[in-house]
Structure 1
Amino acid sequence: MKGYVLGCFIVGLLSFGCKDKVVPKDIDVPTTPNLVLFFVDDMGWQDTSVPFWSERTQYNELYQTPNMERLAKEGMKFTQAYSTAVCSPTRVSLMTGMNAARHRVTNWTLYKDKLQPMETNHKTLKFPEWNVNGLSPVEGVEKAVHATPLPQVLKEAGYVTIHSGKAHLGAIGTPGEDPLKLGFEINIAGHAAGAPGSYLGTENFGNGKEGRKVWAVPGLDKYYGKDIFLTEAITQEAKLAMDSALEKSKPFFLYMAHYAVHTPIMADSRFVQKYYDKGLDSTEAKYAALVEGMDKSLGDIMDYLDNKKISDNTIILFMSDNGGLSAVARGGEKHTHNKPLSSGKGSAHEGGIREPMLVKWPGKIKPNSVVDQQVIIEDFYPTILEMAGIKNYETVQKVDGVSFLPTLSGKSSGVTRPLFWHYPNEWGPSGPGIGASSSTRVGDWKFIYYYKDSSMELFNIKEDIGETRNLVKEQPEKARELAKILSDYLRNVEAQIPSRKDTGEQIAYPDEILNIYKS
């Protein structure tokens, strides 16, 4: 194995050149674990029968995710894990270790060089030229962040790198749209778009639909016309890819990135009837079936590892890319699908950014353990590389993430660092916490600043998880403290800030606004 890794590394240098390449050293090859990152799209904190709060809720009773329960019993549950409020920023942070304020892929990507219509048409704000082209593994792509992708580091360290499902990392016509250019050796169904044309094999997963070509899921031709759900198809392909890795006697990194549970909300016939029988409206029954189908995939992957007798040397990480959809396309009352959390996808409130997170590492993590350590999506980059035993590596980007390996081993210092979110964009729908904003969480306190009107919110999340009481007026000094922390960070990373359309002036930083009030 050691010889193979060295040979692979040398070949990589000869094939691609040394510029901006990762230089892994000190790899503990004999015990190198397999890595499975099970990544769900739009899955909310409450879309599971596993409670991530101090008590069970009606949603924990509604959804059936027995394999998440199984993973939680065998691993560690994180109750305060965060992503960003929409998909592409999270995915780029995952693949680069950078905070969104630094990488500037702050909204969802699709078309090259184009801002979203809801941004260009905004009545009062002019939005910055964010990196609409997403992630680029090479220099020179305009409006893209040049970075060393996570799978590239793992590939050069000897891993077989497998992408299965949704990519949504780069705009159409740019290198970042293709997972094979980002360090993945195998790409199953990944391309530029962030949603499937259809979940149904009988509809060829959207291929052939007039006017919907951009959303058609690629590379699954063998399933066309068959009665198979997309979640199942990419799971079957992922197992075949793992087979090929095992035949090479190499460790693998499986990025199991499901399109589920993103819209279009379609019925998975394997599970939907039970939810109809419970009396759920049609949309919510279909959504619950999407969730359960995702969970079956998790169980299938875990069963595969057990059957191949490699579970003991395989790490599984489970995470979602943003909060659960609630503002649009759902049944029932808007902004309530993640309660007790406020709001949902697209929001700076907890419902938009807090995620279900689980980690299993046999022999390293105490089974059935729970931690409230705060982690954020960019932390996965250094953590996964440390898990893989890659100690010395070089990246073209500055990595903002902090490894949570000490937390997994029970050695966390307990020190809480500020977490930051930056969304100088427009998502479209309206609702609590939705709109152009920047925010920070420091300990139990969370501060949000909205660019449209320079309004602010301050919450004590420990005492008010639902963000129902804005304490800016009651706790002005705490608001001022967090406003300065946030403003200093935005200045330090040169974060892009919206401007006023009428004057062209950049919107003030939150500490500047508070200083005006103070004076």
Structure 2
Amino acid sequence: MQQMKKILLRSVATAVLAAASGSFASTRPNIIMFLVDDLGWNHISSPAATLGNVHEVVHTPHIAQLAENGLSFTHAYASPNCAPTRAAMLTGQYSARKNNQVYAVLSLNRYDRKGGVTEEQAKFRGPEQTMDVAVEAVTVAEALKKNGYTTAHLGKYHCGGHDSQDTMPENAGFDINVGGWKKGHHNACFAKKKGDKWAFGNLGLGAFTPYAAPYDQAYVREHGFPDSLIGTPKHVSDAVGDAMEDTIEKLAAGANPFYFQFHTFAVHGPLGARPDLKAAARARLGADADDEAVEYSGFLSSVDLNLKRLLAAVNDPNGDGDTSDSIKDNTLILFSSDNGAAFQGAAPLRGHKGMFTEGGLRVPLIAYWPGKIAAGTVTDRMVYSTDFYPTYLDLAGATWRPDPATHPLDGESFAEVLMNPTLKKNREPIYYLFPGYLDKKRATPCVVTLDQVGGKRYKLFYFYETNSRELYCLSDDIGEEKDIFAENPEIVSVLARKTDAWLRQQDSTWKPVFPIHKKTGKSAGPPPVL
């Protein structure tokens, strides 16, 4: 009876959302998600988007202009490494749903060898997980296709193929797939010759081969690059940019609105900046600047130039100089990252990629839609990776949504916020369950909750290894420097009760996994109830 009641409540909620989405039905915008790999929260040159905390090594004028012309979310969150973020975006679900089950890249038993928790020291072992969303999952691409959208993916995918470990985005609802596969990042920033063709390392002789030939005079002149590049190997970001322009042209020529995942390989390591961009970074940062900082800054500049190319392609899809075919005014562009910074840190945020501190979780998010989203606006509304799916459905004026009894969506739409950034609407907490270990002293089994209490934003940690909790007030302490657990038992109790209810929910689609006691072989289960 209780299960039936939940299903009925979800059905009502779905009907309400469908009615609300009718207000967007007349626009049905094209949707482009520009997702950068490993870009830190404040690694963009926008004081508004970073609360005045622009990282000193970055120079991204086109991203900054996007923020000036659009809406910046100062409190957007992802998972601390890429695969779980991408799976959450693809399914609209937390990892604890049986249709997701992606908690980390590769394994939950990535113990440390240098200063962190070693396998011998660890009290637990991580459970089995998957790198592939379930066959039964209704992906965001499949849902949008059912609502009349054409769908496309370009670049890094890294959350499985939906029905087999050997398949790719075309088996997960994408009409077009350029370079997406089950593995993750590039391992070569510059093309190398393989036989009579050029390719980018582990990306192989595939989707980017047509774009991998060395720079020639026509190419550098077209793009305004220096002549010094002529005859040198192609950079992976430029090849991805070439493929992006071709994909936009195909999508814009179609009769349907489209959803396009433009997922770059930059700025994931190995770092490798194009020579002219590296030289410019060196000139900006000075002769004494750290080599990694210079390489990273130059590499990031290639992402910034890809945004410039994307905006130009949307305004002139076939690139003939005639903008009468522009789709700019009916295209929403979202710019974000899949996790926190892998290089150079994100101070004043604490930590980096792989950690559950703000430096590993908080990411940039900018929304741009001329004529619809007010320029130069900012919101502190919390957004999590699961929220994109329901937002897209609202914007699409969806008449079809996944059955909440078999594929409930955990995310909350922020479509209304796009049009009204000052909208004050309570959001449910954001939860993290991590049942394993990440190397490099990054993460051990934990549960984390982000929520608003009494007008302030708090973050509660539970650590399995030490059976302990920590509490931080992010409104007053962005760097998570002062643990205020002991002084705030009431706030701790509120957050702990919500977390316990979230972990113990009774639902046939809910299948959380917990760390396993090494001594007993039994699941640790949810944290102890306070």
TM-score with structure 1 setting the length: 0.82
Counterpart residue type for residue 317 of structure 1: L
Specify which of 516, 519, 528 is matched with residue 499 of structure 1: 516
Specify which of 51, 59, 71 is matched with residue 64 of structure 1: 59
| Deviates further, 499-508 or 172-181 | 172-181
Q: Distance in 1 between matches of 2:425 and 2:27?
A: 29
Deviations 1:209-268 (A, max 9, x none): 9xx986658421223452221112112112112212233333222110011111111122
Q: Distance in 1 between matches of 2:137 and 2:460?
A: 30
| Deviates further, 482-491 or 159-168 | 482-491
Counterpart residue type for residue 144 of structure 2: L
The answer for unaligned runs of 5 or more in structure 1 is: 1-22, 139-145, 331-336
Counterpart residue type for residue 293 of structure 2: E
SS at structure 2 position matched to 1:249:
coil
Per the alignment, do residues 80 and 26 of structure 1 end up closer, same or farther by CA in structure 2, a change over 3 Å counting?
Answer: closer
SS at structure 1 position matched to 2:448:
strand
* Residues 1:101 and 2:96 aligned together: yes
SS at structure 1 position matched to 2:478:
coil
Deviation of 1:63 after TM superposition, in Å, equals 1.0
Deviation of 1:28 after TM superposition, in Å, equals 7.5
Q: Distance in 1 between matches of 2:354 and 2:174?
A: 29
Counterpart residue type for residue 438 of structure 2: W
Deviation of 1:128 after TM superposition, in Å, equals 4.5
Per the alignment, do residues 409 and 453 of structure 1 end up closer, same or farther by CA in structure 2, a change over 3 Å counting?
Answer: same
2:319 matched to which residue of 1? none
1:18 matched to which residue of 2? none
Dislocated runs of 4+, deviation >6 Å: 23-30
Alpha carbons 2:186, 2:201 under 8 Å: kept: no
Counterpart residue type for residue 481 of structure 2: T
* Residues 1:442 and 2:451 aligned together: yes
Q: Distance in 2 between matches of 1:81 and 1:406?
A: 16
SS at structure 2 position matched to 1:293:
helix
Counterpart residue type for residue 129 of structure 2: N
Deviations 1:325-361 (A, max 9, x none): 15xxx6xxxxxx1001000111111001101001112
Counterpart residue type for residue 295 of structure 1: D
Deviation of 1:445 after TM superposition, in Å, equals 0.9
SS at structure 2 position matched to 1:373:
strand
Alpha carbons 1:196, 1:217 under 8 Å: kept: no
1:16 matched to which residue of 2? none
SS at structure 2 position matched to 1:487:
helix
Q: Distance in 2 between matches of 1:309 and 1:208?
A: 33
Counterpart residue type for residue 150 of structure 1: V
1:299 matched to which residue of 2? 308
Counterpart residue type for residue 60 of structure 2: T
Deviation of 1:412 after TM superposition, in Å, equals 3.0
What percentage of residue pairs aligned between the two structures are identical? 28
2:7 matched to which residue of 1? none
* Residues 1:405 and 2:415 aligned together: yes
Alpha carbons 2:108, 2:437 under 8 Å: kept: no
Deviation of 1:58 after TM superposition, in Å, equals 5.7
Specify which of 245, 262, 270 is matched with residue 239 of structure 1: 245
1:428 matched to which residue of 2? 439
Specify which of 295, 298, 314 is matched with residue 289 of structure 1: 298
Q: Distance in 2 between matches of 1:252 and 1:81?
A: 24
SS at structure 2 position matched to 1:271:
helix
1:133 matched to which residue of 2? 131
Q: For 1:439-478, what aligned pairs fall within 5 Å after superposition? A: 439-443=448-452, 444-478=457-491
2:13 matched to which residue of 1? none
Q: For 1:170-319, what aligned pairs fall within 5 Å after superposition? A: 170=160, 174=164, 177-202=167-192, 216=204, 218-226=206-214, 227-277=233-283, 278-279=285-286, 280-307=289-316, 308-319=325-336
Specify which of 367, 370, 374 is matched with residue 362 of structure 1: 370
Tell me how many residue pairs correspond in the alignment. 463
Per the alignment, do residues 477 and 203 of structure 1 end up closer, same or farther by CA in structure 2, a change over 3 Å counting?
Answer: farther
Specify which of 146, 154, 177 is matched with residue 144 of structure 2: 154
Q: Distance in 1 between matches of 2:381 and 2:519?
A: 44
Deviations 1:140-186 (A, max 9, x none): xxxxxx31111112223332211111000117992574011011111
Alpha carbons 2:437, 2:444 under 8 Å: kept: yes
Alpha carbons 1:151, 1:183 under 8 Å: kept: yes
Counterpart residue type for residue 436 of structure 2: N
Counterpart residue type for residue 357 of structure 1: L
1:83 matched to which residue of 2? 78
Deviation of 1:53 after TM superposition, in Å, equals 6.0
Per the alignment, do residues 218 and 379 of structure 1 end up closer, same or farther by CA in structure 2, a change over 3 Å counting?
Answer: same
Alpha carbons 2:36, 2:337 under 8 Å: kept: yes
TM-score with structure 2 setting the length: 0.81
* Residues 1:321 and 2:338 aligned together: yes
2:43 matched to which residue of 1? 47
* Residues 1:510 and 2:520 aligned together: no
Alpha carbons 1:86, 1:107 under 8 Å: kept: yes
Q: Distance in 2 between matches of 1:54 and 1:323?
A: 13
